[in-house]
Amino acid sequence: MCKGLAALPHTCLERAKEIKTKLGTLLQKPDSTIDFIIPYPEKPEKPPKAQKPSPEEALQWRDSLEKLLQNPYGLASFRSFLRSEFSEENAEFWVACEDYKKTKSPVKMAEKARKIYEEFIQTEAPKEVNIDHFTKAVTMKNLVEPSPTSFDMAQKRIFALMEKDSLPRFVRSEFYHELIK
């Protein structure tokens, strides 16, 4: 059996981390009675119809990651491409940050901030994004009092990484060439 952490198989370690995270969440005590207030659910946004872009519109994405990410079809295509390269976490993080910025309720904002941190920022997170230690430290400091700008620095770093690294490969890919035909 498992004697020490070094002897644990990789899957055993992952399962132990998952259990630790779940237990930590269950054992958290609310800081105040405000946690017991059930807020009205925020009005759910209907996702825009992902209509295939014209070849001219898709051609604009070569020079603008921002335009690509703002187009539902472009975002879906880019995410499929990133999934094929095992780097989908970057786009997922960017989308999660965009959703986070739209959150109005402080309770929901804190909840989403914790979720984003646990999923993308913390060391060995399930979908950990590649950010430097300074950016990670600033982000963690920002999360003491979550605000709409808490993830801005990390989001900008990931955007720059996708723009410099992933976008050029996407533009050369079969995914993209099918769009501009």
**Mean predicted confidence (pLDDT) in 110-139:** 96
Residue 30 reports pLDDT greater than 70: no
* Inter-axis angle of helices 106-116 and 89-101, nearest 10: 170
Question: In terms of Cα–Cα distance, which of 167, 93, 77 is closest to 130?
Answer: 93
pLDDT for 99 equals 97
Percent of the chain surpassing pLDDT 90: 67
Percent of the chain surpassing pLDDT 70: 72
**Are the C-beta atoms of residues 142 and 151 closer than 8 Å to each other?**
yes
**Are the C-beta atoms of residues 95 and 75 closer than 8 Å to each other?**
yes
**Are the C-beta atoms of residues 162 and 65 closer than 8 Å to each other?**
yes
Phi first, then psi, for residue 7 (nearest 5°) are -85, -10
Q: Which CATH code fits 55-178?
A: 1.10.167.10
Q: Which residue has the tokens 């825009």?
A: 48
Sorting pLDDT into bands at 50, 70 and 90, what band is 16? low
Of 32-46, 53-67, 95-109, the range with the lowest mean pLDDT is 32-46
**Mean predicted confidence (pLDDT) in 160-165:** 96
Give alpha helix (H) positions in 28-173: 55-60, 65-70, 72-84, 89-101, 106-116, 133-142, 152-161, 167-172
* Token pair of 114 as six digits: 């914790």
Sorted by where each begins, the domain ranges of the chain are 55-178
Question: In terms of Cα–Cα distance, which of 21, 28, 37, 24 is closest to 106?
Answer: 37
**Are the C-beta atoms of residues 158 and 127 closer than 8 Å to each other?**
no
* Token pair of 69 as six digits: 């990410």
In this prediction the pTM is 0.71
48-87, pLDDT tens digit by residue?
Answer: 456 889 999 999 999 999 999 999 999 999 999 999 999 9
| Mean pLDDT over the full length of the chain | 82
Q: How many CA atoms lie within 13 A of 31 on its CB side?
A: 2
pLDDT for 2 equals 46
Which is more confident, 39 or 57? 57
